[in-house]
Amino acid sequence: MSNDTGAVVCVTGGSGCIGSWLVHLLLDRGYTVHATVRDIKDEKETKHLEALGGAESGRLRLFQIDLLDYLSITSAVKGCAGVFHLASPCIVDRKELLDPAIKGTENVLTAAKEAGVKRVVVTSSVSAITPSPKWPADVVKGEDCWTDVEYCKQIGLWYPLSKTFAEQTAWEFSKEKGLDVVVVNPGTVMGPVIPPTLNASMMMLLRLLQGCTETYKDFFMGSVHFKDVALAHILVYESPSATGRHMCVEAISHYGDFVAKVAELYPEYNVPCIPRDTQPGLLRAKDASKKLMDLGLQFIPMEQIIKDAVESLKSRGLIIS
C-alpha cells in the first residue's frame, strides 16, 4: 500500500490509547478515518478524538460498534480501503475476554472482505509470543515464537490466550478467504496519553511509582512508545513488502531493566528495588523489531518512553511533581 492522501480507513478501538494515537497520525497524513467506539454518547470516548487536528474538517467519522454485532461493524468498514483492527477487550473474565476477541476479529475480517478492503492490520501483542516456557533458552524470542496455549490454560492466563486465539483466527481467515492481513505485536505501550483513561501499561507504571513490587515475569518483553506503535501500524499498511507478524518493542528487556531505569530517572518516588534478571528465560536483544526497523521505524529509547509517560501521569495529577 502506498499513502493515498484522502483514502478512507477504519480504526476499530479508535478511542483507546493506541487507537487515539493512530487516528491522530492518520489524520496528520491526510487520511479520512472511520474510528469506532463502544458508546458514541460517552464523551470520554469521543471528545478527545474530535479535538484532534483534522477532525474538524470532516475527515473523522465516529461509529458505535459491538464486536459481536456484525451489522454494526459493516457500517464502519463500508467504503474503506484499509482497516486497522485494534478493538479488543482487556478484562479478566474468561468468557467476556475470549468471545469478543475471537469472534470480534472474525466479524471485522468478514466485514472487511465483503467491503473489498485491500489490507487489514491486526493489533496483536507480545502476549501472543510469550509466555512460551518451552522456547529454546539460547534463542531470542521473535515473530516465529508463539504463546504456549496449554500453559496459559493451566494457570488461567486469559489475556494472553485471547490475544493468541484472536491472532490465530486472523491468520486462518487470511489463508482461507484470501484477505491481505498483516499483524503488529506491541510490547508494554506507554507515553503521552491522549484519552482521559489509562491503558494497562500506564497503570503498571503508575503502580510501580507508588511502590508496587509485581514482577510481570510472564508478560514483559520490553517497552514501546505510543507514537511508535501507531507508526508501526501505518508502515505495515503502506508498505507492500510488509508481511506476517511484526514484533514492536524498542528492545527486548527484562522488567527488572525497566524498573531500574525508572528508579534511576525518578529517585524521588517509591520505586521498589527488584532483581534485574526477573525473567531468566528471556534473552535481551536490541534489534528484536528488525522487521519494523527495516521498514524505517526508528524506535524511541526506553529512557524517553519513561520520561514521556511520567510527564503524562504528572499532567493528570496522578502523581505529584
Is residue 226 within 8 Å of 190, Cβ to Cβ?
yes
**pTM: predicted TM-score of the whole model, two decimal places:** 0.96
Annotation marks residue 163 as catalytic:
yes
The SS3 assignment for 62 reads: strand
Cell numbers 496528520: residue: 28
Q: Is residue 262 part of a domain?
A: no
| CA separation, residue 171 to residues 10, 71, 83, 175, 283 (Å) | 20, 22, 15, 6, 27
Residue 60 and residue 32: Cα distance in Å, rounded?
A: 6
Residue 105 and residue 1: Cα distance in Å, rounded?
A: 22
Range of the domain at 15: 8-189+225-249+288-300
Please name the helix (run of DSSP H) or strand (run of DSSP E) that holds residue 10, with its range, or none. Answer: strand 8-12
Instruction: Give per-residue pLDDT as tens, 7-24.
Output: 999 999 999 999 999 999
How many domains does the chain divide into?
1
- What are the residues whose beta carbons fall under 8 Å from the beta carbon of 1, sequence distance 6 or more? 81, 82, 118, 119, 237, 238, 239, 240
Give me the helix-helix angle, 302-315 and 200-209, nearest 10°: 80
Q: Is residue 320 part of a domain?
A: no
Q: Residue 6: pLDDT above 90? A: no
- pLDDT confidence band for 138 (50 / 70 / 90): very high
Q: Is residue 306 part of a domain?
A: no
Instruction: Give per-residue pLDDT as tens, 251-278.
Output: 999 999 999 999 999 999 999 999 888 8
Average pLDDT over residues 156-175: 94
Q: How far apart are the first and last CA of the chain?
A: 44
Q: What is the DSSP letter of 240?
A: T
Q: Is residue 235 part of a domain?
A: yes
Instruction: Give per-residue pLDDT as tens, 77-118.
Output: 999 999 999 997 655 455 567 878 899 999 999 999 999 999
Instruction: Give per-residue pLDDT as tens, 291-321.
Output: 999 999 999 999 999 999 999 999 999 998 7
CATH code for the domain in which residue 64 is found: 3.40.50.720
List the catalytic residue out of 163, 227, 261, 291.
163
Percent of the chain with pLDDT over 70: 96
Please name the helix (run of DSSP H) or strand (run of DSSP E) that holds residue 24, with its range, or none. Answer: helix 17-28
- How high does pLDDT run on average in the chain? 94
- In our burial notation (b when 16+ CB lie closer than 10 A, e otherwise), range 292-312 reads beebebebbebeebbebbbeb
Is residue 109 within 8 Å of 173, Cβ to Cβ?
yes
Cell (9 digits) for 225: 512508545
